[in-house]
Amino acid sequence: MTHFLLVRVGTALATMALLSAALFLATDALPGDAAGTAAGADATAGERAELRERLGLDRPVVERYLAWLGDSLTGDLGRSAAAGRPVGEMLASRFGSSVLLVATAVACIAVAATVLGLLAGLRSGRPVDRLVSSGTVTLLALPEFLLATALLAVFAHGAGLLPAVSLIPLGDSPWQHPQALVLPVASLFLAGVGIATRLLRAAVATAAESPAVEQARLSGERGPRLAWSYVLPAAAPAVQGLAVTTAGLLGGSLVVETLFNYPGVGSELARAVAYRDTAVVQGFGLALAGTALLVLLLGDLVSGLLDVRSRSASATGLRGERRLR
Amino acid sequence: MSELSRRGFLGIGAVAAAGLSGLLTACSAEPAAPSGGSAATTLRAAFAGGGSAETLNYFVGPSALDFVRARLVHAPLGAIDPAQPDGVSLGALESIDIDDDLTSYTLRLREALTFSDGSPVTSDDLLYSLRAPDELQGLPFTRLVGRGFDLSAAKRLDARTVRLPTASPIADGRLLLCQSMLVIKDGTTEFSPRTPSCGPYLIEGFEAGQQTVLRRNPDWFGDGNGPDEIHLLSISDAEARVNALRGDAADFVSGVSPYSAQSLAEESGFEVSAGEAPYLSNLRFEMNLEHEPFRDERVRRAFRLAVDRQAVVDTVYFGRAAIGNDVPAIGFPSYDSSLEQRLHDPDEARRLLRAAGHDGMSVELTAGPELPGMVETATLIVENLREIGVRATLVELPAGQLYADYEAYQQLPFAAGYNPPAPFEANHTPGTFPEVDTLVATARSAPDAAQRTDASHRAQQLLWEQGNQIIPVFVPTVDAHTDRLSGVRHLQFPDLSAARLASA
Amino acid sequence: MTRSGPRRLLLVLLVLLTALALIGPWLPLSSPTERIAAPFQPPGAGHLLGTDFLGRDVLARTAHGGRTLLLQALAATALGSAVGLLIGTLAGLARRGPLTWLLRLVDGVAAVPGLLVVLLTAAGSPGSDLAVLVAVTLVSVPFSVRVIGTATARLTELGYVRTALARGDGRLDVARRDILPNIAREAWAEAGLRFIAATQLCATAGFLGLGAPAPEANWGRLVRENAAGAAAQPWATLAPAFLLVLLALGTTLLADRLTAPARPQHPPQRTPS
């Protein structure tokens, strides 16, 4: 286990290093730069050059990257080219909100997927299974932007029941204003619940045929007790599937946050790319990717721990699950 | 996400030569009506904002909201106001006097102006404010004054008076001074909610990309009929802003898309207001003279005649735009409204194109969502050009990208662009037509006003005949608000300081 | 799973839809870029699905809006699968060394939000459908590599593959002769999943205004363009949205069928957007 952990953490760090270089170079390679965006149409050539120099954009890209890397290792993520705010500070004000959004959605998904997955998996092939499966297939087919647009149209415009824009009063956290969270969370929930339910249903269906569950069934276990005590533990590796879903939702939040004006990382990232704000793309992009890596690692660890009984068998099983990502 | 940051990055340009909100209730011609009741009023106004890159340091702030906020917090020297004889109405200044030879300006501060820390605003503060854009390395649009005046030679005459020599004689220095210059305290380098300021509102709280809470400054020299609190909300997406208004999360939203404006105007409970001339941005399509076909004056004229301007006004803007005549700065005093309006004439356009031997020519039009309706107008123009036999195609850039690589932008054969409301002469970019450049120089520096107007009109006439810009429409900033709100003055940016909100 | 009746119907619809998307631009409809009436007109004569935000024919634009999307997704899937097969089998055959590390790294790279990759690539060459294609391929490759690599690694344990490798056969030969035929089903199923993800990512890119510029129709873009007028003219938004859903649903079911017999528990993967 320790070896596994070390290898995984090492790989994650190597990936992050590689990503940071790739992101930096990619942002830098975009036509135009932050100085051009900031200067606007009415600036003189001299003013442009001065701005470029002030933002350090006249230095070679490798030099700038190394400087950024050195600083970031000491915890300084650089400053936004747009207005000079420290990226760390920007990230601090945004990251929590995004985590809250995704975490709430994932919590809802976990509950719904467990219930639906058990319902369908234990009655494999029967009407309830077909209903759940059709539902999940339909949800799988819907991209986030359609879900969010539809929710907006129905609940915010049509019915006027819920706020269409997530406006969080100054100094408050989004969790103090649950009504602002409903629609963004619902969009992400619907986007993720399909895949998670399918993963769980499949794991449950397999587990339901295992000798252990068969044994329990024969000894008279029925209903929720059978599901809870025998089937669910056997299906535990599906927790990995939830991790995969979570990682996907982190990216999906980019669209959802933008549509609902939710003050998170995703909406900021899109702005930063448009502005050629390299330091912000770096900081925010790496934060998203890093979180995704962490979630995946946790998923692997938890499912590995839960599946202690058949470690050797699970190795291939886990690998099998990986393809679901 | 073409909407995503479109308004956010409108920023720089839009504010550039901004007449902006006057916030000059004290100087406004009509006295504001007394406020409805004694209950504290809060106005929630939504703007595009600039995400978490927003800053209180308006010299480097990338978005229009940064400047709207700054105008509420720091007293502006004045605002562009074509209704006034001088073309400006004054704010923190009491007077701007110009020497007869146009080489020196004398600025006098209004009396009893104080900062929020209690200290009086003095000529040292004014001197510092004038130099701050350069010293604090402001973005180009904040540095207009430095281009026309010799700031290093500026001198303090007494506690309230500053003498400011020009770099070369100019008659329109008042416009430069009143476009974007705000008063800050001598020595200010950091901008935080606690930084002393002297505007109509004080900052209570600020969270970049989300909200600014402003409270009325009790010591402001104006008559203070505005709301007790103004909450500036940052909502980057235009449709999301409209949703906020519909959902009663905002009382006022700035920058409404033409279609949403149209549908809001038809709904009860909302009012839509659009800026009027001169507070209109010109939407222009520039034909690059480096591109061979455009060197032929007939091709340029053909392109201008091909454009169905009325269709643009009707279809893209639902009537909320002014038809353009290929000359900039509509509504400003020197705008030559006697020029004949150019009409849609595809037959003549085809004939001219054939005569020039360029029928069937190919051209690529580049546009981006930098101004509401820019891409849509470009789409229609491409269709118009196809009708006269030009193989026209549209290249749409993502939001924020049009000006990002300015060198590349200047090389484009046929590109969309826009200029915020600004007088023609001071913002004329020389280098394309030497004859026009000479006339504009005369229009800025001739000692006699009639001479200046004449030169300006001749320059505009030349541009109308041979110029390389198509200006099909002048586009207002369209705002919407609940019908409980009144008293918002519509300048380049909305002036909220005299708004009144009736209780629901 | 769904009963075979509705499912077969969906598959027929999918085939029709694909055909429609591909030949849409050649159908004798009005021009997708020409203004034919006032904006957001409800359905009427001459414009069966009404007009869009600029007064253009929604039917014509919807007919034009599928091809690029479909071709983009197909090309990205083909490219991604090809690269995935090549790297995946070679890395899977390698028992140790840099290629196994590559597998681990690929695992990590897959954690990058796909939309970020698309945003960056598309911003790099604005208005290019090709850029979107490349970006979607980039997003898709790590997943393919991972799956093919794992499948290959499983086969590598088998006697005949070991024998072949021990005999000194070239890895490419082994991959072609001994591996590919045996992972064909998994590879196809994986390609199906990639295609669904690619369709969604391409549509999202269109929605975000990336890819081919303005007058060009694209189902994702059409949804965005016309969302503001959805109250007055819902068809302009609903028509492309409906086709998008149908396309995704059809392919999901198809992919399901490919996976189902061998391993019923292989659900497709949601767009890691």
Asked if B440 and B431 count as a contact pair (C-beta separation under 8 A), the reply is: no
How would you write the pLDDT of chain C (273 residues) with one tens digit per residue? 445 666 677 778 878 888 888 887 787 777 777 777 777 888 887 778 888 877 788 888 888 888 888 888 889 999 998 988 888 888 777 766 666 677 777 777 777 777 778 877 776 666 677 888 888 888 888 888 877 887 777 777 777 777 777 777 777 777 777 777 777 777 887 888 788 888 888 888 888 777 666 667 788 888 888 877 777 788 888 888 888 888 888 877 777 766 654 443 444 444 443
Mean pLDDT across B355-363: 92
Residues of chain C found within 8 Å of residue B380, distances taken between Cβ atoms: 35, 54
CA dihedral of residues A91, A96, A97, A102 (deg, nearest 10): 120
In this complex, which of A198, A316, A325 lies closest to C272 when CB atoms are compared? A325
Chain A residue with Cα closest to B17: A42
Report whether pLDDT(B367) > 80.
yes
Chain C residue with Cα closest to A200: C265
**Per-residue model confidence as pLDDT tens digits over C44-66:** 877 788 888 777 888 888 888 88
Report whether pLDDT(B9) > 80.
no
Report whether pLDDT(B134) > 60.
yes
Residues of chain A found within 8 Å of residue B210, distances taken between Cβ atoms: 167-168, 170, 263
Contacts of B217 (CB under 8 A, 6+ apart): B116, B197, B198, B199, B200, B201, B202
SS3 B388: coil
**Where residue A320 sits, what CATH number does that domain have?**
1.10.3720.10
Does the residue A129 lie in any domain?
yes
Mean pLDDT across B485-494: 78
Measured between CB atoms, does B50 come within 8 Å of chain A?
yes
Chain A closest CA to C35's CA: distance in Å?
A: 26
Residues of chain B found within 8 Å of residue C209, distances taken between Cβ atoms: 1-2, 369, 396, 398-399
Contacts of A125 (CB under 8 A, 6+ apart): C1
Give the H or E element holding residue C91: helix C67-93
Chain B residue with Cα closest to A36: B404
> Which tokens belong to B388?
């006269």
Q: Tokens 């196994």: give the residue.
A: C100
Q: In this structure, is the dihedral angle defined by the CA atoms of residues C194, C196, C197 and C199, taken in order, positive or negative?
A: positive
Q: What is the pLDDT of residue C268?
A: 41
Does the residue A258 lie in any domain?
yes
Q: In this structure, is the dihedral angle defined by the CA atoms of residues B465, B467, B473 and B478, taken in order, positive or negative?
A: negative
Q: What is the pLDDT of residue B338?
A: 93
Mean pLDDT across B456-483: 93
- CA-to-CA dists, residue B231 to B451, B478, B492, angstroms: 47, 19, 20
Measured between CB atoms, does B240 come within 8 Å of chain A?
yes
Report whether pLDDT(B113) > 80.
yes
The CA-to-CA distance between both ends of chain A, in Å, stands at: 23
**Beta-carbon neighbour count of residue C237 at 10 Å?**
25
Does the residue A13 lie in any domain?
no
Q: Which chains touch A (3 or more CB pairs under 8 A)?
A: B, C
Does the residue A50 lie in any domain?
no
- What whole-number distance in Å separates Cα of residue C10 and Cα of residue A253? 30
Q: Where are the alpha helices (DSSP H) in B112-215?
A: 123-135, 144-148, 173-180
Asked if B341 and B423 count as a contact pair (C-beta separation under 8 A), the reply is: no
Q: What is the pLDDT of residue B26?
A: 34
Q: What is the pLDDT of residue C246?
A: 84
CB-based contact A137 C244, cutoff 8 Å? no
Chain A residue with Cα closest to C240: A146
Q: Supply the Cα-derived Rg of chain B in whole angstroms.
A: 23
Chain A residue with Cα closest to C265: A202
Asked if C196 and A195 count as a contact pair (C-beta separation under 8 A), the reply is: no
Does the residue A116 lie in any domain?
yes
Phi/psi-derived region of residue A40, left when phi > 0, alpha when psi is between -120 and 50, beta in every other case: left
The structural domain count of chain A equals 1
Q: What is the pLDDT of residue B356?
A: 93
- What whole-number distance in Å separates Cα of residue A39 and Cα of residue A35? 6
Does the residue A256 lie in any domain?
yes
> Which tokens belong to A303?
């499912």
Greatest mean pLDDT among A15-24, B272-281, B450-459, C151-160: B450-459
Residues 192-251 of A with CB under 8 A from C: 192, 194-195, 198-199, 202-203, 205-206, 244-245, 247-248, 250-251
E strand residue ranges, B422-487:
469-476, 478-482, 485-486
Does the residue A17 lie in any domain?
no
DSSP assignment of B335-362 equals --TTSPPP---HHHHHHHHHHTT-TT-E
Chain A closest CA to B320's CA: distance in Å?
A: 24
Report whether pLDDT(B150) > 80.
yes
**Beta-carbon neighbour count of residue A257 at 10 Å?**
27
Chain B closest CA to C183's CA: distance in Å?
A: 40
CB-based contact A251 C268, cutoff 8 Å? no
Chain B closest CA to A220's CA: distance in Å?
A: 56
The boundaries of the domain holding residue A278 are 84-324
Mean pLDDT across B189-203: 92
Chain C residue with Cα closest to B240: C228
Does the residue A49 lie in any domain?
no
Q: What is the pLDDT of residue B18?
A: 32
Q: What is the pLDDT of residue C260?
A: 56
> Which tokens belong to B393?
């195609």
pLDDT higher at A143 or B124:
B124
SS3 A15: helix
Angle between helical axes of C98-109 and A2-29 (0-180°, round to 10): 70
Residues of chain A found within 8 Å of residue B419, distances taken between Cβ atoms: 41-42
- From C263, C138, C113, C114, select the one nearest C188 (Cα to Cα): C263
DSSP assignment of B389-412 equals T-EEEEEEPPTT-TTTSHHHHHH-
Q: Give the residues across from C66 on adjacent strands.
A: none
- What whole-number distance in Å separates Cα of residue B305 and Cα of residue B339? 15
Q: What is the pLDDT of residue B27?
A: 37
> Which tokens belong to A4?
């596994």
Report whether pLDDT(B365) > 90.
yes
How would you write the pLDDT of chain A (325 residues) with one tens digit per residue? 677 778 778 877 887 888 788 777 777 766 666 666 666 666 667 777 777 777 777 777 787 888 778 887 777 777 777 767 788 888 888 888 888 899 999 999 989 988 898 888 888 778 888 888 888 888 887 888 888 888 887 876 665 677 777 777 777 777 777 878 888 899 999 988 888 888 888 888 877 777 777 788 788 777 777 777 777 776 666 777 788 788 888 877 888 888 888 888 887 887 777 777 777 888 888 888 888 888 888 877 777 776 654 333 333 333 333 333 3
Measured between CB atoms, does C207 come within 8 Å of chain A?
yes
> Which tokens belong to B209?
């990309």
